[in-house]
Chains A and B, each alone.
Chain A
Amino acid sequence: MDFTLSKQHEMARALFKEFAENEVKPLAQEIDEQHRFPRETVEKMARYGFLGIPFAREYGGQGADALTYAMCVEELSKVCGTTGVIVSAHTSLCCDPIATYGTEEQKQKYLVPLCKGEKLGAFGLTEPGAGTDAQGQQTKAVLDGDEWVLNGSKCFITNGKEADVYIIIAVTGKVEKRGRMQKEISAFIVEKGTPGFSFGTKENKMGICGSSTYELIFTDCRIPKENLLGQKGKGFAIAMHTLDGGRIGIAAQALGLAEGALETTIAYVKERKQFGRAIAQFQNTQFQLADMATKVQAAQLLVYKAACKKQEYQTNPKISYSVEAAMAKLYAAEVAMEVTTKAVQLHGGYGYIKEYDVERMMRDAKITEIYEGTSEVQRMVISANLLK
């Protein structure tokens, strides 16, 4: 076992860090306050390959691995949780299922411009009545001649109105499974601008305020027959597998938020004076920082391990990284919430003021315990594997 990063990963980290400091950090507070999607950052990230990191060169990707991708989301999220999730949702939830399940034609048509960052991706699984209970899908797709006709809606969709390509999960019929009738679920690729595809309300969120979170509405939305992704009836498995990868992205986002809050707090406690000395000199501060740093380090190891396992899967599809991804997300998200909360506490009154980054980081951290599978879902995944 070797915990040393390769030169490639060191150079990639240096790139992500420099980019995050120069291009992302200066906008973080503004996009949060204005609830503004940082389109200009997305364009810059596209130029440097951030939107196609773990995909093959032949499909417009960078040919790097899952760990490089996780490090990108981590470094971006250190300074801006919004920017981290834009990359994560695009890469893990839209590019990845097309790369894994798409036909050659679908890859050429959709994956290439997505990886080049000419187009942005999103993923629609969640519905008002189908959150953790993803089987409760109501959106329907019916084959009519050479077209699928979609009806229904999706909610809380990241990159909602800003994306160009959407992976949409919908019910395509009923099948008998173990003697019971169940919904048959399939996955589809839907392009923005397709007649019958519109946007509902923009969510007014607690955190990651710069990200575009929308309801997607499908009213007799007709898409070509060939936009079925993977086999008919395999949509649930595709969605679950996609979320396994997505969880590594969100775990990396949570990790970045925790690291960002820790770094900011270390700088602050050295400057802030009370009772005639820097608060870093008080043992309470020191012990809090020690706990925060230890948990951040543990989270990083879990996230990197899950990313490496996913990379292993690329060459050996028989292995599963589902449990590693669930553990990484569960732990990193809870560490993010704990560390950002402590960071606010160590900042005292200033931590509660919007001028200070830790206030935003604490709000941004909360969602990592909820989206792409709540912490409770992660515990279900982990325990189911223990008790099988």
Chain B
Amino acid sequence: MKVIVCIKQVPDTKGGVQFNPDGTLNRAAMLTIMNPDDKAGLEAALRLKDQYGAEVTVLTMGLPKAADVLQEAIAMGADKGVLITDRVLGGADTWATSTTIAGAIRKLDYDLIITGRQAIDGDTAQVGPQIAEHLGLPVISYAQEIKIDGDSVIVKRQYDDGYHMLKAKMPCLITALSELNEPRYMSVGGIIDALNSEITVLGRKDLIDVDDSNIGLNGSPTKIAKASDKVRKGAGEKVTPDSPEDAVEYIVGKLTEKHII
């Protein structure tokens, strides 16, 4: 069984967000981490490796520096790393990114693709399902649990009002939530293996069935008007009324005062 896990190197928002003068993210100035949902997806794949002996390939797209996140994944236990990097692929939105990744995956052998639900930098949750669409695969999003049953997967999908149990034939694509599991750490020996392993590097010419009009900045229909850091909320006001009636009276008073009601 072969599993591909798509992972993304994202800015570590704990360290604060920094912008270039033109409003785009200054990625070079920020510490990076493996996107948390992707890490959960990787952990799910590594558990399939532990349980069923699956071969796990991690794939990312980005600057050459993004190889770091692949090495981290290999140090955690992944078998192979694939980096898609090319100047002409830069500035991609979710459409161009998913087109590019699907073009690379067409080169690879797989039974299952796992992506994170969404990345903490863009928060779109679009790339995973779009890859499935490009490849004509069934997609199950928001996976909380993944089991293998013969040539199918059984996935517990989180929903607002409960969960769904879904079964799909492989090959298929699953998007994982960070709540899915507690990802393992790298191991000491895994770090040595990661640094000794060769990362496969793919460029524009390696992508299969991809049109130039669908890649990079020019192939991205999304235009970003402005990006900004989230506005910090004030500490607010804490009150401890003596009774529910007092609490209601206080809240109604505040809402009236602000002309909300």
Contacts and interface: CB of A to CB of B under 8 A. Distances in A.
A57 B189 contact: yes
B68 to A, nearest CB: 9
B195 to A, nearest CB: 6
Interface residues of A, number: 20
B20 interface: no
A18 interface: yes
Contacts of A47: 184, 187
Contact of B185 (A19, A62, A68, A72): A19
A48 interface: yes
A233 interface: no
A76 interface: no
B239 interface: no
Nearest to A53: B188
A15 B189 contact: no
A11 B191 contact: yes
Interface in B185-202: 185-192, 194-195
Contacts of A57: 189
A48 B191 contact: no
Contacts of B188: 12, 15, 48-50, 53, 62, 64, 68, 72
A162 B184 CA distance: 26
A8 interface: yes
A7 interface: yes
B93 interface: no
Contact of A48 (B72, B185, B195): B185
B46 interface: no
A355 B72 CA distance: 36
B185 A64 contact: no
Contacts of B186: 11, 14-15, 48
Contacts of A18: 185
A50 B27 CA distance: 33
A18 B194 CA distance: 18
B71 interface: yes
A10 B188 CA distance: 11
A64 B75 contact: no
Given A11-B71, A11-B72, A62 B195 contact: no
A48 B192 CA distance: 13
Contacts of A15: 75, 185-188, 191
A63 interface: yes
B15 to A, nearest CB: 14
Interface in A23-70: 47-50, 53, 57, 61-64, 68
Contacts of A72: 188
A61 B187 CA distance: 11
A63 B195 contact: no
B189 A11 contact: no
A63 to B, nearest CB: 6
Contacts of A50: 188
Contacts of B192: 8, 62-64
A8 B191 CA distance: 7
Given A7-B195, A8-B195, A49 B71 contact: no
Contacts of A61: 189
Contacts of B184: 47-48
A24 to B, nearest CB: 12
B260 to A, nearest CB: 37
Contacts of B191: 8, 11-12, 15, 64
A7 to B, nearest CB: 6
A19 to B, nearest CB: 6
Nearest to B72: A11
Q: Kindly name the residue among A11, A48, A57, A63 whose own CB sees the greatest number of chain B CB atoms within 10 A.
A: A11
A377 B21 CA distance: 60
Nearest to A48: B187
B193 to A, nearest CB: 9
A368 B47 CA distance: 41
Contacts of B75: 11, 15
A312 B33 CA distance: 34
Interface of A: 7-8, 11-12, 14-15, 18-19, 47-50, 53, 57, 61-64, 68, 72
7 contacts: A7-B195, A11-B75, A15-B75, A15-B191, A48-B184, A62-B187, A62-B189
Interface of B: 71-72, 75, 184-192, 194-195
Given A8-B195, A47-B184, 17 more contacts: A8-B192, A11-B72, A11-B191, A12-B188, A15-B185, A15-B188, A18-B185, A48-B187, A50-B188, A53-B188, A57-B189, A62-B187, A62-B188, A63-B192, A64-B192, A68-B188, A72-B188
Cβ-closest 6 pairs across A and B: A49-B188, A62-B189, A62-B188, A49-B187, A48-B187, A11-B191
